[in-house]
Structure 1
Amino acid sequence: MIDTFTPAAATRSGLAVLACLAAFSAPARADLTAADVWEQWRDYLEGFGYMVTADESGSGDTLVIDNLKMTISMEEGGGTSTVTMNMGQMTLTGMPDGSVDISLPASLPMSLVVDGVASEEPVKVDLDYTTAGFAMKASGTPEATTYTYSADSIGIVLKGVEAEGKPMDLGTVDFTLAGIEGVTAMETENGTSAQQRMSAESLNYTVDITSPDPAEPGTLKMTGMASGLSFDGTFDIPDGVDLNDMAAALKAGYGMDGAFVYEGGNSSLSFDDGADSFTSQSSSSGGEVGFAMDIDGLSYSVRSDDTKISVAGSSIPFPVVIESTELGLHLALPVAQSDEMKTFAAGLTLAEVSIPAELWMAFDPTGKLPHDPVTISLDLSGVGRLFVDLFDEKQMVQLGSTGGTPGEVQSVKLENLLVEALGASIEAVADLDVDNNAMSPLGPFPNVFGTANINLIGVKSLLSTLSDMGLVPPGQAMMASGMISELAEQVSGPDDLAAEIVLSPQGALSVNGKTIPLQ
């Protein structure tokens, strides 16, 4: 799944291009002119912080936009970095029904010019934005405009790179979307807000780059495809916000969310610099990437189904192949200073991950252990608050220099922990409170107390097997097994055990009602 320029600049540039070249449908009947559409686009881009210039020509209901130039400057690294995007010609035509048709040439030249920080030389990247069967219509009113679009294909091809005043022949970079349909409903009466939906039959990409520096040779190749793609998302940009100051923008009402879904895909990657080499292949039956950000917090999630990954390389002793039915990660956290408690969460899923036979042979050559796939899943949630705005650069720099605490946690809940491996399983849940106004009797940190419940199946047998294999010293294995038997209660057999662990506010620990001395 997939910068001589910054990620922030790349994100703004990408959003700007998508908003202008691939927008959103609902049958709204009203008069809309080509000039209205162009003004909306200008306002949108300027809302992102771009300085916009273009040559405007045409007559009657037709408006031709040529030599579109968008420039944005950012302070970073002790200097100013400037990103300039230049685009070719597009035509906006007012129709008798009050809508506006937007047309693009089959090949639309684009260029990105990045002026380096301080004394660095600028970098220029020339691209070709290609379309086939492209159609876009805007309808509605200047304050509530709906864009519908479709295309047989849309692609971006690298045409050239220039650095330090010299052209660089890097190689091939080619991305192509096919079978595209989309609709965006944009409102601009109070700031700018939009609801977006887009689908594509497939995405194909090829990257074949060779280092232009003979002193540092190397080739990088990537190819891949994804099928059944879709995107749903929204964003809100209040009037007058500066997106370079994200902390202030969030407080003013800026927000966005979205989800990318794909039904399958595969990719390959190889690298070779003459001394070291690396290759990998991966495939998946589908997955999803989701994100959201507003004043209440930031969330991110990713999931891949039926994943297979194989890797090999000069520094890897043997090819490694790993398969899993599900790989997933999710995070949610507050981003703004608040006197009120906010929720946070985190989770990880590694479901039925196969271990390569070569690794089994390395530490279990006689096959004493079950070689079943490994499953690990973890879900945490909690409540806490921040003392600083995470997107406020000055506050974060001050925090780093003073070594202060960014926030506090009031409670943590282990919603679920599951580990299944080597013929044994461990499951646990926990509910913990944190008293930030009292020191723990156990050490120099806030007082933590609460209850945890743990189920152990096959753990004692696993300890015995590991001891027989010489991987765990016999004395330690016997001690651990004895403690488990003494403290845990049987559920359905001698190796199916459960324990309730309680830590009191006074620092007293008990397991199934039995007091455990901690000091």
Structure 2
Amino acid sequence: MSWLKPAGTGAVIFTLLSTTAGFADVTPEQVWEGWQEGYQSYGYDVMVGSSDRSGDTLTITDVKLTNEMDGTSFAMTIPELKLRDRGDGTVEATMSEKMTGVASSDLPDQPALSLDMVMTQTDSSVVVSGTPEDMIYTIDAPKVTMEMDQSGDAGDQAIPVKVWLSMENTTGTYEMKMGEAHDVTSALKTGLVKFTASGADPEGGGTFTLDGQVSDITYDGRFVLPNGVPMEKLDEALNAGANIQVALKYAGSEYAMNVDSPDGPVSQKTTDNGGTLDIGMSKDGIHLAGTSDGSEVQMTTKELPFPINLALESANMDFAMPVSKGDAEQDFKAKFALNGLTVSDDLWNMFDPGQNLPRDPATLKIDVTGKMQLTDDLFSPAVAAMPVPPMQVNSVDIKDVHLSVVGAELNGSGALEIQNGGPVPMPKGAIDLSLTGANALMDKLVAMGLVPQDQIMFGRMMLGLYAKPTGDDAYESKVEFKDGGEILVNGQRVQ
């Protein structure tokens, strides 16, 4: 299934949802002038059918926003925009109940696609206050809906996808400071987001439906774009000082998906207890972090006579890396954890009906930091054409690797320097590993008939050769990487 994602679509939709103008002042004319300058700074052309001032209200009709870049285009039409001088130094902005948009894509070696959009808002209120240098929008949008209908061409067959989205009870502020850069700070809350989607795969003959909702969303963000810098050229914008910071939080979500294919129907239901997502991007690097407070998944398939149930107590991730080229080393980190993963007894009983294996929740944790270098800006057009990213890892600090599952537990830590002078990067350093519960697990696998005895004997032999006993069914090993590619395990050469 193909989805159309033209550049800039999200920016326009978000801005229209949060305010009917990107920039404003304390008079209608200044509101309109700033509105045009704002979208032009994001790479959009602004066209107008007419503009008329009558009394305290400036009315602009047939406003069209267009953006074209790299084989994609986007156009949105606002039939009418009214800016009313409230007589107290503020301006009230209202717009048509319905607005339309068209996004299209015609990329090499890909089917041409088109996405039609209709956005509907009712009783939304936006009041602009402040000064020309510091403008504040106060937003109250009881309900905003968006309908999207994708069509396209895959050989002689259409690729239909329909999406519906609604946002209820959106309130907050949107502040714009003018100076050497567009500096926008947002603080918004949305009570409920609902969505549905449906589509068909002309090649496989399958269809799908999706519906769900997300509750109590808070959005805090800051976006800084230096004047005269095109945002669509991300590498240039970041080097000029562009800065994006986003913090999202939600109280919970749920969705259901059903797929009907020639292989049989599949259905899935997912719920979670909320979470967070933080995104940051500047010339100093990109940062992505998130948490989940617990989730459950239920899936049914033709192959199994019972549903598959999965549950996760919590999860988190924290990832950061540089995006700008430089001769000096830069930091990176990757942290990931799945805590308390469980599966239903029906699934366990398929291969362990006697309940020989412990069914305790499984946990996986990885925490790695290090130093790296970029030989080119990560988001430059030249990098997009490279077969591999222009990066070199110089060192890796393994702070923690942890896996606990079916009664066994593996832990590891260490530090490696990466020697990049040869044809293949070579590590130098050491990793310390500890393992508990391995023998008990192997005994149970043999008793269950899942693993032959001769294979288990080989595993025990390897454990005896390369691991030191430290207690009851407990072992440890030190893996050392030497110059020239030599590898030692507890002092024994293995390579």
Q: Same fold (TM over 0.5)?
A: yes
Give the AA of the match of 1:419.
Answer: L
Offset at residue 197 of structure 1 (A): 0.8
2:492 alignment partner in structure 1: 516
Change in 2 beyond 3 A, CA 1:163/1:361: closer
Give the AA of the match of 1:495.
Answer: D
Deviations 1:56-112 (A, max 9, x none): 222243212221101111123xxxx3321112222111222211111235x223232
Change in 2 beyond 3 A, CA 1:7/1:261: farther
Offset at residue 202 of structure 1 (A): 1.4
Change in 2 beyond 3 A, CA 1:291/1:48: same
2:130 alignment partner in structure 1: 140
Q: Among 340, 343, 349, which residue is 1:355 paired with?
A: 343
Change in 2 beyond 3 A, CA 1:485/1:170: closer
Contact 1:146 1:184 in 2 (8 A): yes
Change in 2 beyond 3 A, CA 1:163/1:359: closer
Give the AA of the match of 2:92.
Answer: D
Contact 1:16 1:45 in 2 (8 A): no
- Indicate whether 1:150 and 2:140 are aligned: yes
Aligned mates of 2:400, 2:291 — CA distance in 1: 18
Contact 1:23 1:183 in 2 (8 A): no
Change in 2 beyond 3 A, CA 1:19/1:421: same
1:103 alignment partner in structure 2: 94
Give the AA of the match of 1:310.
Answer: Q
- SS where residue 354 of structure 1 aligns? strand
Aligned mates of 2:450, 2:279 — CA distance in 1: 43
Change in 2 beyond 3 A, CA 1:99/1:382: same
Contact 2:383 2:389 in 1 (8 A): no
- Indicate whether 1:130 and 2:121 are aligned: yes
1:425 alignment partner in structure 2: 409
1:436 alignment partner in structure 2: 420
Aligned mates of 1:296, 1:157 — CA distance in 2: 38
1:412 alignment partner in structure 2: 396
1:201 alignment partner in structure 2: 191
1:205-244 paired onto structure 2 within 5 Å = 205-207=195-197, 209=198, 211=200, 219-244=207-232
Change in 2 beyond 3 A, CA 1:425/1:210: closer
Aligned mates of 1:516, 1:476 — CA distance in 2: 23
- SS where residue 168 of structure 2 aligns? strand
Contact 1:224 1:265 in 2 (8 A): yes
Q: What's the C-alpha RMSD, in Å, of the aligned pairs?
A: 3.1
Contact 1:23 1:147 in 2 (8 A): no
Give the AA of the match of 2:345.
Answer: A
- SS where residue 419 of structure 1 aligns? strand
Change in 2 beyond 3 A, CA 1:219/1:162: closer
- Indicate whether 1:37 and 2:43 are aligned: no
Offset at residue 195 of structure 1 (A): 1.1
Q: Among 363, 366, 375, which residue is 1:375 paired with?
A: 363
1:457 alignment partner in structure 2: 436
Change in 2 beyond 3 A, CA 1:474/1:15: same
Q: Among 51, 60, 67, which residue is 1:65 paired with?
A: 60
Offset at residue 285 of structure 1 (A): 0.7
2:481 alignment partner in structure 1: 503
1:301-316 paired onto structure 2 within 5 Å = 301-314=289-302
- SS where residue 7 of structure 2 aligns? helix
Answer with 293-302 or 250-259: which moved more: 293-302
- Indicate whether 1:319 and 2:295 are aligned: no
Q: Among 29, 45, 51, which residue is 1:56 paired with?
A: 51
- Over the matched positions of the two proteins, sequence identity in percent amounts to 25
Give the AA of the match of 2:226.
Answer: P
Contact 2:25 2:34 in 1 (8 A): no
Contact 2:143 2:170 in 1 (8 A): yes
- SS where residue 8 of structure 1 aligns? coil
Offset at residue 308 of structure 1 (A): 0.6
Aligned mates of 2:147, 2:118 — CA distance in 1: 6
Give the AA of the match of 1:459.
Answer: A
Superposition TM-score, scaled by structure 1 size? 0.84
Contact 1:33 1:61 in 2 (8 A): no
Offset at residue 487 of structure 1 (A): 5.4
Contact 1:89 1:108 in 2 (8 A): no
Deviations 1:126-173 (A, max 9, x none): 4032224x2211111222111111232222245x67879xxx997964
Aligned mates of 1:157, 1:387 — CA distance in 2: 43
Deviations 1:176-226 (A, max 9, x none): 22222111211121120111111122112233x36598x986543222111
Deviations 1:374-411 (A, max 9, x none): 111112111101112221222442x32xxx77221111
Aligned mates of 1:394, 1:500 — CA distance in 2: 42
- SS where residue 267 of structure 1 aligns? strand
Contact 1:113 1:125 in 2 (8 A): yes
Aligned mates of 1:310, 1:421 — CA distance in 2: 21
1:27 alignment partner in structure 2: none
Aligned mates of 1:419, 1:409 — CA distance in 2: 25
1:10 alignment partner in structure 2: 9
Contact 1:386 1:408 in 2 (8 A): yes
Q: Identify unmatched segments of 5+ residues in structure 2.
A: none
Q: Among 234, 239, 251, which residue is 2:239 paired with?
A: 251
Aligned mates of 1:202, 1:313 — CA distance in 2: 31
Offset at residue 295 of structure 1 (A): 0.9
- SS where residue 336 of structure 1 aligns? coil
Offset at residue 291 of structure 1 (A): 1.4
